[in-house]
Amino acid sequence: MSIVRPFAGLRPSRDKVLEVACPPYDVVNSDEARAYAEGNPLCFFHISRPEISLPPGTDEHSDVVYDKGSENLARFKNEGILKADPKPCFYFYRQKMGEHEQTGLVAGASVDEYQADLIKKHELTRADKEDDRTKHIDLLDANDEPVFLTYRARETMDAMVDKLTKAPPAYDFTTDDGIVHTFWVVDRPDDIETIEKEMRAVPALYVADGHHRSAAASRVRELRKERAGPSHTGKEEYNFFLAVIFPHDQMQIMDYNRVVKDLGGLSKDEFLAKVSKSFLVEPSSRKQPEQIHCFGMYLDNRWYSLCAKEESFDTLDPVASLDVAILQNNLLKPVLGIENPRTDKRIDFVGGIRGMEELERRVDSGECAVAFSMYPTRMDQLIAVADAGLIMPPKSTWFEPKLRSGLVIHELG
C-alpha cells in the first residue's frame, strides 16, 4: 500500500512561473546558480540556493545561508510571488522532452512508509549532504524541492491520469532547453479520493532521484516529533514530504559516463593488454554502446568498443551484473587502481545529456587520459536492486528531464 496525501501547495501565479522556475539545486554549483539568477529576483535559486543572495565566496553551509533561505521564502510569500492554495490538492506534472513524455503525481509521500522501506532506496547517502538538506528543510519549514519517485505502472492509474489531465492546466510553459512543462491542480474531493484509492493499490514506491532529500525529510520528522513531544499526532504535515511520482515505464534513464585523469602509470599498450583480459576490445566507429554489458572507450583520439567477457561477472547478481559494476570491478579498480569511485579524485562522471563531445573534449584537452561511455541502466534493473534491499554503485543513473523547482512547495508548519 502507498499512502499519499494532498496538501495546500505554495506556488507562483501563471504569469510568474517562468521567472520563478529553475533547475534542481544539486545540478548546479553556486557560481552557476548565481549566473542563472542574475537580474531575476524571482528565481527560485534564491530559496533553494540562498547563498546567491549573499556576497560571492560565502560558505554555502554557514548559518547565515540557511537563515537567508528562510528570509527569502518569507519575502516571496509577503510579496505575493508565491501563494498557498486555499485547500489541500493533488497536482499532476507533465514534462515533454523531444519525443519523450512523462506525467507524475505531485503529492505528500509518507515518512512512515519511507522508514518502513515501503518507499525503497537504491543509493547510499553522504552524511554531509544529509546534514545540509536537513538543516535547509527544517529552517525553511518546507520541502522546497520534490523527491523523484516511481512505481510499477498500473493501467487503472494511467487511465485516471489521462482523464484528469484533459482539464485546462494551471501552467504550460517551455524552458530554454526546449522542455515543455505542464502542471494541473486537482482539487475536487471526488478526484482526490480516487487518487488516494488508486495509490493505496500500489505495493511500493521507489526513490529514483532525491535520496538525500528523502533522508533529510525523515530526519526533519524525527526532530519535530521530538520537539512536539506528547502533542505529536502523526498527522502533521512534517510526516509527509514533497514528491513527484511517475510510472516506471515513462521514466527515461540516460547514460552516466566516466572520465579518468590518467592510466595509472601504464603505457597505452600495457593498458589495452590489461583491459583485454576481461573485455573484447576492438577499434570502433561508434561512440556509444548499443547493448548491455558493452562500453565505448575514448583513448588517444580513438574510440574502441569494449564488451565484457561472459565469465567476468555474475549474471545472477542484480548489482554485480550492472554495467557500472562491471566496469568498476573489471577495469577501473584492477587496471586503473580506482578503489572507491565515490572519493577518488582521479575519476569524474559526465551525464549523458552532455553528449559524447564532452567526453572527447575532456580527453583531447589533456584534462583526462581516457573516457568510457555507458549503456544506460534500465528501470527494471533499478527496481530489482531496490527490491533485493541492495545498493547500486555510485553514479549509476542519470534521469532526464530533471524536475523543475519552484512549481509548488510543501509547507511543514
DSSP 390: -
pLDDT at 137: 98
Question: Dihedral, CA atoms, 260, 261, 263, 268, nearest 10 degrees?
Answer: 90
Count of CB atoms within 10 A of residue 105's CB? Answer: 25
In whole angstroms, give the CA distance from residue 193 to residue 402: 29
- Name the residue type at position 101: E
pLDDT at 259: 98
For range 3-15, the mean pLDDT:
97
Amino acid at 21: A
Residue 201: DSSP 8-state: T
Architecture of the domain spanning 256-375: 2-Layer Sandwich (3.30)
Q: Is 205 helix (H, G, I), strand (E, B) or coil?
A: strand
* Single-letter code of the amino acid located at 372: F
- Please state, in angstroms and rounded to a whole number, the distance separating the CA atoms of residues 49 and 68: 9
Q: What is the pTM of this model?
A: 0.93
| Phi, psi torsion values for 137, nearest 5 degrees | -65, -40
Q: Which residues pair with 392 in a beta bridge?
A: none
Residue 93 has pLDDT above 90, yes or no: yes
Nearest to 23 by CA among 383, 413, 353, 395: 353
Residue 278 — very low, low, confident or very high, per pLDDT cuts 50/70/90?
A: very high
Q: Residue 82 half-sphere exposure, CB side, CA atoms within 13 Å?
A: 27
Q: Which residues pair with 195 in a beta bridge?
A: none
Sign of torsion over alpha carbons 402, 88, 136, 170: positive
Show the cell assigned to 85.
492554495
pLDDT in tens, 115-172: 999 999 999 898 999 999 999 999 999 999 999 999 999 999 999 999 999 999 999 9
- Region 235-257 average pLDDT: 97
Cis peptide before 401 (omega within 30 of 0): yes
- The average pLDDT across 210-225 equals 97
Distance from C-alpha of 220 to C-alpha of 111, rounded to nearest angstrom: 10
Which pLDDT belongs to residue 147?
97
Pair 11, 143: CB distance under 8 Å: no
Average predicted confidence (pLDDT) for the chain: 97
d(C-alpha 158, C-alpha 246), whole Å = 10
CA distance 135 to 137: 6
| Residue 393 to residues 119, 138, 175, 235, 390, Cα–Cα distance (Å) | 19, 30, 32, 36, 10
Residue 1: which pLDDT band, with cuts at 50, 70 and 90?
A: confident
pLDDT at 342 over 90: no
pLDDT tens, 185-215?
Answer: 999 999 999 999 999 999 999 999 999 999 9
Cite the residue boundaries of each domain of the chain with CATH code 3.30.1760.
Answer: 256-375
Element (H, E) at 398: strand 398-399
In this structure, the chain runs to a length of 413
Strand pairing class (279-283; 347-351): unpaired
Confidence at residue 384, expressed as pLDDT on a 0 to 100 scale: 95
The pLDDT score that the predictor gives to residue 394 is 87
